[in-house]
Chains A and B, each alone.
Chain A
C-alpha cells in the first residue's frame, strides 16, 4: 500500500482520528489503567499487602499462593488440550465423515454457552445424585469438589471445566491451520516412505506450529481469566480471577489491583513472546538439535509400529474427551431441569422444585426477567458501540502503516483476565478514578466494549484477508466510484459475512461474560451473574432452570452463526 493514491476527502481523516481517539479512550485506557494504578497508589498497596498493621504480609502470601495455583491449573489444562486437541483437529481438518459439522459445533459449544451455566452443569454432573452418580446407582455424586488430581494437585472438577472451556481454542485454531496446509506435503512424505506418525512429526507439526501456539495462547489466557464457571465449581480452592472478584467485593481494592496487575504482567511475559513469534508470517518450527542416528532410527521404527496401532485410538479418545467434558454435562442439566421441575425428586420437597423456587417467595423468576433484560440491553448496546469502532478500525489496520501495531495492541484485551479488566474499568471510570460512571449497567457496557472491539475486529480482518478487497476497490475506483462509493457498494457488502460473525461473537461473549461483569455490575445483575448468585444461595433448582435457559439461548445463537457462515 506504498504511497497509495490518497483519499482526497478530509472526512476520511476525521474518521481515522475519531476512531483512534475512541479506541484510545474506550479500549486502551481501561486495559492499561490497572497497571498504572499500581504505581500511582503504591503507598496504599504497600501498607495493605506487605506491611499490614494487623496481619503483616499475610495478603502477599495469599497472592503468591493463588497465583501459583492459577498457573498450575491453566498450564495443565492447556497441556491436556494439546494432547487431545491435536488429533481431533487433524481428524476434523483432513477427514470427512457424517456428523462432522455437528461435532465441530459441539466442540465450539463451550465458547458460546455462558460459562456460569456450563460450570453449573458440570457441577451437578459430577458431584450430585442427579448426575453420573445417580446413573451408577450411587446415593451421592461420583466425586466431590475437593477431590484432587494426584501429581497436578488440582481439583478434578475444576480441571474438567477448564479443559472444556479452553479445548475449542486449541482445536479450532489448529483445525484452520491444518486445513491451510496443502495435503500434498503429507502425501509426498508418505510416498517417500515415512509412516503417518513420522510424517506428522516431521512435516505437519512444524508447519502447523504457529497455529498450535496461538491456539494454546488463547486457551491459556482464557483459563487464567475464567471466572463464571470457576466461581461455581472452585469449592475451597481459589484461582487468581476469583480472588480478584472476592477482594473487589470486599473493597480490598489495593490488594485486588496489585494481584490483577501481577496476573496481567505474568500472563504477558508468557504470551507476548509467543505472539511475536507466531505473528511473523511463514514461520515454522525448525528443530535446532539433531538426534543421534541410532535413536532417530529407533524413533522412526517406533513410529511405524505405532502408526497402525494408534490410528483408531487417535480417532476415538478425543471424542471421549468431548463427550465427558461437554456433552454429558449439557444432557444432565437438561435432564435435571425436568426431574426437578415440580419438586426435589429425592427428598420430595416442593421447595426444592424449579417451580417453587422460581415463583415462590424468593421469586427468582422476576430476577431472571430483569437479568434477561439487563443482559440483552448490555449485549446489544456494547456490541453496537463496538461495531461502530471496530469497522473503521479494521480498515485502519489493513490500510495504514501503523495498522500492525494497533493489531498487536488489540491482542491485549483478548488475553487479559476479565476480572482484572473489570477491576480496571471500575477503578478508571468509578469513584476512585474519573468518577463519571457508577457501578451498574453503563459500566458493564463500558467493560464489554473493551473485549468486544478486538473480537469484531479480528473477524472482519479474517474476512478482509484473502478477499482481494483491494483489487475490487481499485476496480470500482477506475470505473468511476469515489472512495466513499467504493466503500459502500463494494467493500462493506463483501465484508458482510465477517461483520455479522463479529456481531454474533461479540453478542454471545457479552451475554456470557461473568468475571468482569461481577465486579462492575452493582445492582444490575446479568443472567450469568444471577446463576452464580443462585448457586451461592443454594437455590439449585432455580440455577438449573437458568442454566438451561442460557444454554438454549446460546444454542439458538450458535445456529444463527452456522446459517450466516454457511451461506458464503
Chain B
C-alpha cells in the first residue's frame, strides 16, 4: 500500500509504503503522534485514506466496509461490550456472521479454553482483571474468524510485570493460529522482543523497516539509534578517509577511528556509540578508540553498572557494563580510559535541524 492520510492541515501519514507477509508478526514502533493508530485504522477500514490504496490478500479494499475486511481491530481499552458476558463477547463475531449454532458453540468454547477463561464464561467484563480482559478481547478477535489481527497498544493498559509475561504469550498464540498481526506500540523493548519485523514510524513517515536485529545493529538514522536501544551521540568532522575507514575529529581536537567510509572529508557528522559497546578501564585497548576522562557518576541498575565519563573536551560518554563482565569498579572522580571499537561506531550526516531535536523527538 501507499497511503497518505490528512486531518485538516496535519498530515498524519505521508506516503506510507508497507507490505506485510501472510502470517507475519509486525510491530509498528514510534513515539506518540507518529501516526501508528491512524495506520492501523486505515488497514481496518475505520478510516479511509485520502490518497493511496490498501490491499488485503491481493484485493483492493478501499471503500470496503470494515466488517468485510476480516481484519479485527483490538483497542487498547479492549472495547469489551460491557453489557455482554465473556461468552457473549467472544461469540459476538460468529453470531453476527450467522454461523451455524453448533459451530458457534464449538469455536467459542475452544477459544475460551485456549485463553484459559472457560470458567469465567458468564462473567461480565468489569468483573475481570486487566489481564483477563485482554485475553477476552484477543479471544473475541480470533473467534470472529479474522486472519488479520490489528493490535493497538495491546499491552498498554496492563501493569509492567504482566506486560512482560503476556507479550510472549501473545506472539505464541498468533503464531499457533497462523495469524497475520500488526502490533502497534511505543515500547521498543516490546517490539524488539516479539516482532518478526519492526516498522519504525515517525511523524507519518517510515524511518526504517527490518528485523529486530537489523534495527538494533544497523540503525539507519539518528532517530532510530536513539529510539531503539539508545546511544551516545558525539559531533565531529571527517578529516580523513582511507581503505580501512575514516577518522573523525571531535571537539577539542580528539580524534577517533570509525569503520564507516561513506562520508567525505570535511563533512560534519554525528557518531553514535551504543552504551553497551563502551568499556571503561585503566588501560588503553588495542584496536579500539581510547579516550581518557574522569568518572562523573556511577549508577548500579540491576544487571548493569552505568558510568558517565567526562572526556577531556568536556563531552560526556555513558557506558553500560554487564555486571558479570565487571572486573574492577571505579569511583566518581577517578581517571579512566573509555574504549570503543571503530566497527561499533555508526556515522550519520549532521541533521539539518539540530542533533537535540532528532534525539528528543523520542
Contacts and interface: CB of A to CB of B under 8 A. Distances in A.
B67 A482 contact: yes
B13 to A, nearest CB: 13
**Secondary structure of the A side of the interface?**
helix
A477 B46 contact: yes
A5 B92 contact: no
Nearest to B141: A479
A7 to B, nearest CB: 8
Contacts of A142: none
B65 A477 contact: yes
B65 A8 contact: yes
B79 A5 contact: no
B144 A479 contact: yes
Interface in A444-502: 468, 471-472, 474-483, 485, 489-490, 493-494, 496
B356 interface: no
B81 A472 contact: yes
Given A474-B66, A485-B96, A479 B45 contact: no
Contacts, number: 85
A475 B152 CA distance: 12
Contacts of B46: 4-5, 474, 477-478
A10 interface: no
Contacts of A472: 79, 81
Contact of A475 (B47, B71, B75, B83): B75
Interface of A: 2-6, 8, 468, 471-472, 474-483, 485, 489-490, 493-494, 496
Interface in B49-84: 50, 65-67, 69-75, 77, 79, 81-83
Contacts of B67: 477-482, 485
A478 B45 contact: yes
B321 interface: no
B150 interface: yes
Contacts of A480: 67, 70, 93, 96-97, 144-146
Given A5-B47, A471-B77, 10 more contacts: A3-B50, A6-B48, A471-B79, A474-B46, A475-B73, A477-B45, A478-B46, A478-B67, A483-B65, A496-B83
Nearest to B149: A478
Contact of A478 (B73, B81, B83, B97): B73
Contacts of A485: 67, 96
Contacts of B69: 478
Contact of A474 (B48, B79, B83, B92): B79
A537 B212 CA distance: 90
Interface of B: 7-8, 44-48, 50, 65-67, 69-75, 77, 79, 81-83, 92-93, 96-97, 140-141, 144-146, 150
Contact of B92 (A3, A6, A479, A493): A479
A478 B47 contact: no
B72 A478 contact: yes
Given A468-B79, A471-B75, A489-B92, A477 B48 contact: no
A5 B66 contact: yes
A44 B164 CA distance: 81
Contacts of A4: 46-47
A4 B73 CA distance: 15
Contacts of A5: 45-48, 65-66
Contacts of B92: 476, 479, 481, 489
A471 to B, nearest CB: 5
Closest 6 CB pairs of A and B: A475-B79, A477-B66, A478-B73, A479-B93, A479-B144, A481-B96
A493 B83 contact: yes
Contacts of A489: 92, 96
30 contacts: A2-B7, A3-B48, A5-B48, A8-B65, A474-B66, A474-B73, A474-B79, A475-B79, A476-B81, A476-B92, A477-B46, A477-B67, A478-B46, A478-B73, A478-B150, A479-B67, A479-B92, A479-B93, A479-B141, A479-B144, A479-B146, A480-B96, A480-B144, A480-B145, A480-B146, A481-B96, A482-B67, A483-B65, A494-B82, A494-B83
B83 to A, nearest CB: 5
B208 to A, nearest CB: 28
Contacts of B73: 474-475, 478
A401 to B, nearest CB: 13
B68 to A, nearest CB: 8
A379 B311 CA distance: 84
A489 B91 CA distance: 13
A10 to B, nearest CB: 14
Nearest to B148: A478
A472 B78 CA distance: 9
B271 to A, nearest CB: 43
Given A474-B66, A475-B73, A476-B92, A490 B44 contact: no
A489 B140 CA distance: 15
Given A2-B7, A5-B65, A494-B83, A479 B96 contact: yes
Contacts of A474: 44, 46, 66, 73, 75, 79
B44 A478 contact: yes
A472 B71 CA distance: 15
A478 B137 CA distance: 12
Contacts of A3: 47-48, 50
Contacts of B72: 478-479
A479 B44 CA distance: 10
B41 to A, nearest CB: 8
A185 B176 CA distance: 50
